[in-house]
Structure 1
Amino acid sequence: TPLLGDLPTEHATGLLVTIRGGEDMTLYEVDTIMGVIRDKVAESANVIFGTCYDPSIEGSIHVSVIVSGIKMDQFTPPAGKVRKTAADSDVPTTTTDEPAKESTGLFGFFKL
């Protein structure tokens, strides 16, 4: 996805998958989705999944995936532009001569 950038899921050590669909969702569809996901990760990855029925989304399926175990040297942050909104212009700003601190977490490309 654009939010995750070039996330190399083949290096993931774990995945948590939620598949949500209407009562017309079939076991075959769930198996197909999980097959595609399993093909994108290492065989050693711990993949946990669950399903639930949601009558409000009859006719469609929503899939959420949480990926863990990606090392920072395997992650390329997404490229994009920062967009200012009208609300941003009302926020007071301050400047400092201190260098930004480097974060070592998953989103280390953000300056703290």
Structure 2
Amino acid sequence: MDVGEAPEFSMTDSGLKYRILRKSDGKKPKADSTVTVHYRGWLNSGKVFDSSYERGETTTFPLQNVIAGWTEGLQLVGEGGMIELAMPSRLGYGERGSPGSIPAHSSLHFIVELVNVD
């Protein structure tokens, strides 16, 4: 993270809240980019439901194949940067949730380090 206090959250027209925790002038992904990231995701309760940090390895995926909040949010940060995302359920897993880990209608929170953009 950058030194100093974390910035306030900004909000996009879709309702995605975000704040840049580590600025970067690196390449920003587009919706059709493939990215490599380190991340932690948690629910409003604070319960972590997924973490590449805990697995000890980054993960790579096409941005167009993930939840809408990730596709939108990762385009706001450059390669080498870090962003915190807070999204309403409609930008996450919505009314279906993700069985076994994310209840239906859950707001989601993530810290994401953008390691690489292809």
Q: Which structure's CA Rg is the greater one?
A: 1
What TM-score, normalized by structure 2, do the two folds share?
Answer: 0.26
What TM-score, normalized by structure 1, do the two folds share?
Answer: 0.27
